[in-house]
Structure 1
Amino acid sequence: MDLSLLFTLALIHCVALVSPGPDFAIMVKIATSQPRNTAIATAVGVSVAILAHTILSLTGVSLVIKSSHTLYLLVQLLGASYLAWMGFGALKATIAFFRKPKRLLKGEEAESSVATEAQANTGDNSQTKAEKSLSPRQGFMTGLYTNLLNPKALVFFLTLFSALITPSVTPATKVAAALVLFVLSLIWFGFLALMLSKAKVQQKMQRITPIIDAVIGVIFMSVALAIVSNLLLV
């Protein structure tokens, strides 16, 4: 087993994990507004998607997709559509918030503050009735789709393994690489889920929810536009 190769892959992957992107954005959004079990499920979903990208790259499936103009075009269009839809939803939520009458906003803030304070005192991290709570399954699928349908993730892992995984690399090292990247992803996103889903953190973050939605909307829409722009320029 090539330990130096595994260390290099782990280091590069860690840098990619902490870099701002759709995965980080969706974790912040869900962990600060949803129950802890949903946030953890989202972290697992993103990590499973990363594992899937790793396996596809190691087995050569990603290379086949990248080499086929039609397949890669479909993947990019599907990914751009999903990211644009997520971004549009986040921006729509921000616009809807600022369109509400100030009197209504103040009333909702007061009600939200009381509800969140009660959650902090009782240790209950459930959502208020005013918010739509996602189930753990929905959280898992959101995390899974956000990473799996991102064409940039496919290209990243394909490029990473094409550069570092040579024909001489043993199957044991390849399996270890997949496990290392999966575990690192689970640790990082699980950490975000646990930290940001704390009642006190959620209480503070609720005050800037519109800003969070706006930033997330811009990130998702920017990635989607970048994908479409690359398609038009090719």
Structure 2
Amino acid sequence: MAIFLAFLGVSIVVIVTPGPDTAITIRNTLLGGRSAGILTALGVGCGLTIWALATSAGLVALLTASEPLFLAVKYAGAAYLIYLGMQALREAIWPAQSQHARSPTMPHMRLAPVAAFRQGFVSDLSNPKIAVFFPSLLPQFVPAGQPSFLSLLLLGIVFALITLAWLTIYATIIAKAGDWLRRPNVRRAVEAVSGTLLIALGIRIAAEQR
């Protein structure tokens, strides 16, 4: 139990630290409302679950051992974050114009549920930092004598569930303040900040050594 509580403590510290998943969840909540934010969080959780399964099966070790494959994942993930960031900056500079006039506080439901889930899923699944993080974190909390595959998988799923819960809280809070945040000037400022953050994170991932 002490080992598991220690794992929960470390996981919470890591999860609450803002990163790409948080930025994408906030932006998608503004674009598609609370449901889009939660679906983004669900996509992130599914991505983490796949990483956990791959780590348990030893596939992540093969990925990190292959320099070309690891670099391919790293640059694909970085490119995707930069792409999303550029989309956000475009919205900040040239906001999409609706065919009909909208109230300044009317929600801009411009993000389909499938797109929200896909963005969360792809951004997390293409994040090479998870490929390094999970194999270094999870084995430290596997009790001696227990099957490593099942233990690693369960720890990874717990990590994914905590992440899902945390990002869902984020989405709910952003949705509550949605009317104010969706005011044209405020929304454009948020798009500019989130776009800049996503691009910076993408560049950092591309430039980072293992």
TM-score by length of 2: 0.85
Q: Is the CA contact (8 Å cut-off) linking 1:87 and 1:220 kept in structure 2?
A: yes
Between the aligned partners of 2:56 and 2:79, the Cα distance in structure 1 is 27
Q: By how many angstroms is 1:35 displaced? A: 3.0
- Structure 1 residues without counterparts, runs of 5 or longer: 117-126
Report % sequence identity: 25
Distance in 2 of aligned mates of 1:166 and 1:57? 17
1:28 to 26, 29, 49: 26
Equivalent residue in structure 1 for 2:130, among 127, 138, 153: 153
Q: Report whether the alignment pairs 1:204 with 2:204.
A: no
Matches within 5 A, 1:1-234: 3-97=1-95, 111-113=102-104, 116=106, 127=107, 131=108, 133-165=110-142, 168-171=145-148, 172-198=150-176, 201-207=177-183, 208-230=186-208
Distance in 1, matches of 2:153 and 2:66, equals 26
**CA shift digits 1:152-211 (9 cap, x unpaired):** 22222222125444774435533431332122122112222223223xx11111132122
Instruction: Please give the alpha-carbon distance, in whole angstroms, between the structure 2 residues aligned to 1:91 and 1:135.
Output: 19
Change (3 A) 1:13 1:134: same
**Distance of 1:230 and 1:71 partners within structure 2:** 16
CA distance in 1, matches of 2:146, 2:3: 9
Q: Distance in 2 between matches of 1:164 and 1:184?
A: 16
Q: Give the whole-Å Cα distance in 1 for the aligned partners of 2:143 and 2:55.
A: 12
- What corresponds to 1:119 in structure 2? none
Count, aligned residues: 204
- How far apart are the structure 1 equivalents of 2:51 and 2:29? 24
Q: Which residue of 2 aligns with 1:124?
A: none
Alpha-carbon distance in structure 1 between the residues aligned to 2:50 and 2:82:
22
Q: Is the 8 A contact 1:53 1:154 kept in 2?
A: yes
Q: How far apart in 1 are the matches of 2:135 and 2:189?
A: 34
Contact 1:75–1:151, Cα closer than 8 Å, also in 2? yes
Q: Provide the residue aligned with 1:121 in structure 2.
A: none
- Structure having greater relative contact order (Cα 8 Å, sep ≥ 6): 1
Once the two structures are TM-superposed, the CA of residue 6 in structure 1 deviates from its matched residue by 2.1
Q: What is the CA distance between 1:141 and its match in structure 2?
A: 0.7
Indicate the structure (1 or 2) with the bigger Cα radius of gyration.
1
CA distance in 2, matches of 1:193, 1:230: 29
Residue-by-residue CA offset, 1:26-81 (whole Å, 9 max, x unaligned): 11111123133222211111111111122222222111101111111111121111
